[in-house]
Amino acid sequence: MANTIHVDIVSAEGEIFSGPAEMVFVPAVMGDIGIAPRHAPLLTALRAGEVRVKTPGGEEQLFWIGGGGVEIQPKMVTVLADTAARARDLDEAAALSAKQRAEEMLRDRTGAMEVAEAQAELARAAAQLKAIEKLRKMKGG
Amino acid sequence: MAGAEIRSKIASIKSTQKITKAMEMVSASKMRRAQERMRAARPYAERIRKVIGHIRLANPEFRHPFLVEREVKSVGIIVISADRGLCGSLNINGFKSTLSLVRELQQQGKEAHVALIGTKAQQFFRRLKLPIVASTTHLGDKPHLSALLGLITAMLDMYREGRIDRLVMVSNTFVNTMTQRPEQRQLLPAETLDASELQERWDYIYEPTAAELIDGYMMRYIESQVYQGVVENMACEQAARMVAMKSATDNAGKLIDELQLIYNKARQASITKEISEIVGGAAAV
């Protein structure tokens, strides 16, 4: 198997692909690169785009990634894929909304019953109603 | 009438038992899936840790702010909890651990800022007078990293701006099905592999520069750590719920047995009474 290279595509949420390949193409930030076996060790960041894996059978597999990084060693390639499409300003927006959620939560600190408590109350009431109904049936019958 | 009351009580306990039994089985299967997710997330974090180790080794003069120890005046705490209850003392154990950390910090005159993951943490910490930086809830059974990014970014920004000098994550670790332990893990400044752990000694070609790359990798490393914490906490939640529901089912079974005995005795007593009345009546005639 001298003419193949081992490819792992992993994301924070799990493994996406693992297996041998004849050639791998990744969308690096400085331009797309093709990786053949015995490539020099290289570390680079990836843009959002397609990762193409040419398997030994000659077929091609496509994976979409939202960006990330790639680590290349002579016998192996590891694509560290981002699952979420992300950009700096997108993260900022998410951070802002997380902050807002916290603030909102603090604002109704004095709010009435919490939803969970209310739900428990409702469940108890429903159970009681059911019991009353049963009792009524028993008395009637 | 006493008989009918006991009967309805037995019926209601039986239906509760059915629910707890079902919840137990659901938790068992969800726990297995959460454990798989835990395992699946591991290689990513490991890879990144190695890559960061390589970059540091190759560029000893370069120091990323996430790696530098500084004097601690204020600490950020990410608290991970479940969204739902009925899982024994799992959540409260995590909160206790957090509170003891906060108290310790306050005694040393340090500030604590918290970021909350999960509904239960929200319900608990809203009553306290702690600055809450960010919160996120309702992650579902399959948590996605994207739901956590906002919260993590908010904490990392605070760290970069110097408003917190240390970032700690409190979550439960999965020891086994019966045991889950709350644990405090330091996220920042990050500990990475040192030179002795890396056997292979070569350097990469960097595109663009190592300095630019390490920032992206550091952020992803922290993110994956938090994600792992969430997934592990979820496995703990399901395990704890499974155990809690199992004991609830067992208790319901015991209660039913006892009530059944009381019911049978009452029934027997009323039959005996009736017979003796009939016999007494017949003797009188």
The per-residue pLDDT of chain A, averaged, comes to 78
Query: Is there a contact between B207 and B82 (Cβ–Cβ < 8 Å)?
Result: no
Question: Which pLDDT does position B120 carry in this prediction?
Answer: 92
Higher pLDDT, A135 or B265: B265
Q: Which strand (E) or helix (H) includes residue B234?
A: helix B210-284
Query: Is there a contact between A80 and B50 (Cβ–Cβ < 8 Å)?
Result: no
Adjacent-strand bridge partners of B172: B182
Within 8 A of B115 by CB-CB distance, chain A residues are 98, 102
Cα separation, A52 vs A12, in Å, equals: 20
Query: Is there a contact between B81 and B96 (Cβ–Cβ < 8 Å)?
Result: no
Q: What is the pLDDT of residues A16-68, one digit of tens each?
A: 889 999 999 999 988 899 999 999 988 899 888 888 999 998 888 888 888 88
Q: Is B193 on the interface with A (CB under 8 A)?
A: no
Cα separation, B23 vs B113, in Å, equals: 35
Question: Which pLDDT does position B196 carry in this prediction?
Answer: 58
Instruction: Tell me the two tokens of residue B266.
Output: 């009452």
Nearest Cβ partner of B135 from A98, A127, A134?
A98
Cα separation, B146 vs B150, in Å, equals: 8
| pLDDT above 80 (res B202) | no
Nearest Cβ partner of A12 from B136, B145, B213?
B145
Quote the distance between the C-alpha of residue B150 and its chain's center: 19
Residue B140 — left, alpha, or beta (φ > 0 → left; ψ -120 to 50 → alpha)? Answer: left
Cα B36 to Cα A2, B142, B228: the distances in Å are 33, 11, 12
Name residue, tokens 């190592």: B210
Given an 8 Å threshold on Cβ–Cβ distance, is B146 in contact with A131? no
Q: Is A129 on the interface with B (CB under 8 A)?
A: no
Q: In Å, how far is B172's CA from the nearest CA of chain A? A: 19
Predicted confidence band at A115 (pLDDT cuts at 50, 70, 90)? low
Cα separation, B79 vs B76, in Å, equals: 10
Q: What is the pLDDT of residues B100-138, one digit of tens each?
A: 999 999 999 999 999 999 999 998 998 888 888 888 888
| pLDDT above 70 (res A140) | no
B200 class by beta-carbon count within 10 Å (0-12 exposed, 13-18 middle, 19+ buried): exposed
Predicted confidence band at A116 (pLDDT cuts at 50, 70, 90)? low
Q: What is the pLDDT of residues B16-44, one digit of tens each?
A: 999 999 999 999 999 999 999 988 888 88
Among B229, B234, B181, CA closest to B35: B234
Q: What is the pLDDT of residues A69-81, one digit of tens each?
A: 999 988 889 999 8
User: Where does chain A hold its CATH 1.20.5 domain(s)?
Assistant: 90-139
Task: Say if residue B189 is preceded by a cis peptide, omega within 30 of 0.
Answer: yes
Residue A49 — left, alpha, or beta (φ > 0 → left; ψ -120 to 50 → alpha)? Answer: left
Query: Is there a contact between A35 and A27 (Cβ–Cβ < 8 Å)?
Result: no
How many residues in total does chain A contain? 141
User: Does A90-139 carry CATH code 1.20.5?
Assistant: yes
Query: Is there a contact between A69 and A76 (Cβ–Cβ < 8 Å)?
Result: no
| pLDDT above 50 (res A112) | no
ipTM of the complex in this document: 0.72
Q: In Å, how far is A97's CA from the nearest CA of chain B? A: 7
Query: Is there a contact between A116 and B134 (Cβ–Cβ < 8 Å)?
Result: no
Q: What is the pLDDT of residues B145-197, one digit of tens each?
A: 888 888 998 899 899 999 999 999 999 999 998 999 999 999 888 876 665 55
Within 8 A of B48 by CB-CB distance, chain A residues are 80
Predicted confidence band at A110 (pLDDT cuts at 50, 70, 90)? very low
Question: Which pLDDT does position B145 carry in this prediction?
Answer: 85
Given an 8 Å threshold on Cβ–Cβ distance, is B150 in contact with A98? yes
Predicted confidence band at A111 (pLDDT cuts at 50, 70, 90)? very low
Question: Which pLDDT does position B215 carry in this prediction?
Answer: 84
Q: Is A75 on the interface with B (CB under 8 A)?
A: no
Given an 8 Å threshold on Cβ–Cβ distance, is A102 in contact with B134? yes
Predicted confidence band at B62 (pLDDT cuts at 50, 70, 90)? confident
Q: Which CATH class is domain A5-87?
A: mainly beta
Q: Counting one residue from A and one from B, how many pairs have CB atoms under 8 Å apart? A: 143
Question: Which pLDDT does position B273 carry in this prediction?
Answer: 94
> In angstroms, how far apart are the furthest CA atoms of chain B?
114
Given an 8 Å threshold on Cβ–Cβ distance, is B217 in contact with A69? yes
User: Where does chain A hold its CATH 2.60.15.10 domain(s)?
Assistant: 5-87
Cα separation, B114 vs B78, in Å, equals: 6
B82 class by beta-carbon count within 10 Å (0-12 exposed, 13-18 middle, 19+ buried): buried
Q: In Å, how far is B136's CA from the nearest CA of chain A? A: 6
Question: Which pLDDT does position B197 carry in this prediction?
Answer: 59
Cα separation, B227 vs B115, in Å, equals: 14
The per-residue pLDDT of chain B, averaged, comes to 88
| pLDDT above 60 (res A1) | no
Q: Is A68 on the interface with B (CB under 8 A)?
A: yes
Q: Is A44 on the interface with B (CB under 8 A)?
A: yes
Question: Which residues of chain A form beta strands (DSSP E)?
Answer: 5-11, 14-21, 23-28, 31-35, 42-46, 49-54, 60-65, 68-73, 76-81
| pLDDT above 50 (res A131) | yes
